Structure 1
């Protein structure tokens, strides 16, 4: 059972979310809810929930200010908001998901699924760190790729992301240059190894180049150089699971 608390200054929003949770997430128990964020701080510290659904814009104390006042932070955070401009900040607070109001039942179920997976795999250690560590150990071995009658030998840590182009693959580098290679995208994905992740049918990104997850006009990633890469809904849950470990 996942014990959860809802914090939202609108009582109707609490009622609607409680109904969604009870209907679609039967292993989640709403143990309390608060319209006053000051009361919520004391309750979260005392009750120590597994999950907190937290509204952002509230009078007197917003959701991010509430987080700073907590002594207990060992819970999964799901931000709920009618505004999309707080998504990057929510990611920096290690939110499991950023749900736009009115909350979509499929998005809610995806968020709870990620919490279940994290609870079930809590003893497995950091998946993302392991993947990057494995990749770092292979950095000395160059990646050999064919292009226009020649072969280039590339350092994997110079690759920012890759894009599919039919039977070819475009590779974008840290210096913003790009090259077109005569390699199928699936084969490229296998050659790149665990330090990279296929976030979309047409995109592969270097994991440690990801700066933020953005849930605005569809899920996407912000890379270190500001490039925005789309994320397919089918890969969103697994990707967020990696990023939050």
Structure 2
């Protein structure tokens, strides 16, 4: 049985989620509820949940304040929110789960099933560290969680040299020469990685602008990275690239 806690400042939202869990998610028992940051911390400490459903926007404060306030994060967290906002980006980069309100039954069941099958405390702690790092660090110092066929890799954005599209996958090349195949489209990382540091210069390439060595005009034009990798650049991207490099 999965022990669940719901932390949500609106009563009707707590009741709705509780009813959905009771009706559609077998093997889940709601053992506690809270309507604020302070009460959320208390109910987590006293009920020892396996998973918490945590509203991002609590009044006053946020769900992240709850996570920072507990003595130990030894439970799964499924975030809930009514808004696509900056926090969603941090959650995606951490490969954590979130549900958009109004919550769909299918999405809720999928999130609960992943929670039941995942239960790796060390990996989860690293994901949570990435999330809190995302929310507190400046671009370039932030960490990102990359899902691979073997599990998850935790890397700094500043260590990424470039990303290359590979069908429904993305090939990551790092400053130390390592390569990693990640099971997500390049477009997703274009939306997530720091926009002031990374640029999509071609349909196949997303590069770290701080790792560019030079732009070569011959042979139709290409970018030479610090490791001497040659990266194609789309003609329509050249002006923007040059502006960003000299700006």
TM-score by length of 1: 0.55
1:177-192 matched pairs, under 5 angstroms: none
Please point out which of 170, 179, 184 is paired with 1:199: 184
Are 2:15 and 1:34 equivalent residues in the alignment? no
Question: For the residues of structure 1 that align with 2:148 and 2:61, how far apart are their CA atoms?
Answer: 34
1:7-86 matched pairs, under 5 angstroms: 7-85=7-85, 86=87
Give the CA deviation at 1:3: 0.6
1:204-223 matched pairs, under 5 angstroms: 222-223=192-193
Partner of 2:59: helix, strand, or coil? coil
Question: For the residues of structure 2 that align with 1:30 and 1:95, how far apart are their CA atoms?
Answer: 24
Contact 1:38 1:61 in 2 (8 A): no
Contact 2:172 2:181 in 1 (8 A): no
Partner of 2:73: helix, strand, or coil? coil
Question: For the residues of structure 2 that align with 1:67 and 1:123, how far apart are their CA atoms?
Answer: 16
Contact 2:172 2:180 in 1 (8 A): no
Contact 1:96 1:111 in 2 (8 A): no
Alpha-carbon spacing, 1:222–1:20, altered in 2? closer, same or farther (3 Å)? same
Partner of 2:54: helix, strand, or coil? strand
Contact 1:8 1:55 in 2 (8 A): yes
- 1:162 is aligned to 165
Partner of 1:52: helix, strand, or coil? strand
Give the CA deviation at 1:56: 1.5
- 1:143 is aligned to none
Contact 1:196 1:204 in 2 (8 A): no
Contact 2:172 2:182 in 1 (8 A): no
Contact 2:36 2:60 in 1 (8 A): no
Alpha-carbon spacing, 1:65–1:131, altered in 2? closer, same or farther (3 Å)? closer
Partner of 1:196: helix, strand, or coil? strand
The number of equivalent residue pairs is: 168
Question: For the residues of structure 2 that align with 1:59 and 1:46, how far apart are their CA atoms?
Answer: 22
Gaps of 5+ in 1: 134-156, 165-169, 176-193, 211-219, 229-245
TM-score by length of 2: 0.55
Question: For the residues of structure 2 that align with 1:101 and 1:74, how far apart are their CA atoms?
Answer: 25
Contact 1:90 1:98 in 2 (8 A): yes
Gaps of 5+ in 2: 127-146, 154-159, 201-247
- 2:141 is aligned to none
RCO higher in structure (CA 8 A, sep ≥6): 1
Alpha-carbon spacing, 1:158–1:61, altered in 2? closer, same or farther (3 Å)? closer
Question: For the residues of structure 2 that align with 1:112 and 1:162, how far apart are their CA atoms?
Answer: 31
